[in-house]
Amino acid sequence: MDPIKIEGTPKTPTVNFDGEKGKIEIKGRSIPENSIEFYKPLVDWLEEYMKSPTEMTEVDIQLEYFNTSSSKCILDVFKKLEAMYKGGNEVVINWHYEEDDEDMLEAGEDYQSIIKIPFKMMEIED
């Protein structure tokens, strides 16, 4: 399946979804007014990918800012990954946060407690 490559903007993140390598990456900022519009193609892609995923799917989330309308969409992405994980596929989510950004760490922990997939909290050092 075709990968997704989206360049980041001041309001939307850089997205790299590579089905062959099993690499999923969302980086930057996610603060659009209409997050559903931005995330719908990503969730649809995962829906397709989960039919025959690679043995191991590695997810990297590195967000500087995200708004609450994106928070629901990010949860939708994680729910697709959770379904894959429950189906016996290996999935790991690396949640990157800036040193001292306790809010971003806490946001990751919130997801970790909702989604039953192994999370790794990774501090980005200056």
Partner 1 sequence: MSFDLDKWVAENSKGNIVFSFKGELSETMLTDLLQIVEDKLEDIDFSRKVKKKVYNVAIESLQNLFHHSDAIFLNGTKKKTAKYSVMFIKQDNEGFKVTTGNFVTEEKTVFLKKHIEKINSYNRDELKMMYKDILNNQSFSKKGGGGLGLVDIARKSESKIKYNFYSHKNSVSFFDFSIEIKQ
> Do residues 81 and 89 touch, judged by C-beta distance below 8 A?
no
CA 101 to chain centre: 18
What's the token pair of residue 35? 């997050």
Q: Which among 40, 41, 120, 115 has a CA at the least distance from the CA of 84?
A: 115
Under rule CB under 8 A, residue 21 binds partner 1: no
- Binding characters for partner 1, 82-101, by CB under 8 A (x = yes): ------------------xx
Single residue of 3, 5, 21, 36 touching partner 1 by CB under 8 A: 36
**How far apart, in whole angstroms, are the C-alpha atoms of residue 27 and residue 8?**
8
Under rule CB under 8 A, residue 126 binds partner 1: no
Under rule CB under 8 A, residue 67 binds partner 1: yes
Backbone angles phi, psi at 6, to 5 degrees: -125, 130
> In this structure, what DSSP letter does residue 45 have?
H
Supply the minimum distance, in Å, between the C-beta of residue 107 and partner 1. Answer: 9
Supply the minimum distance, in Å, between the C-beta of residue 20 and partner 1. Answer: 32
Comparison of 12 and 57: residue with beta carbon closer to partner 1:
12
Chain contacts with partner 1 (rule: CB under 8 A)? 10-11, 31, 33-34, 36-37, 65, 67-69, 71-72, 75, 100-103, 106, 110, 113-114
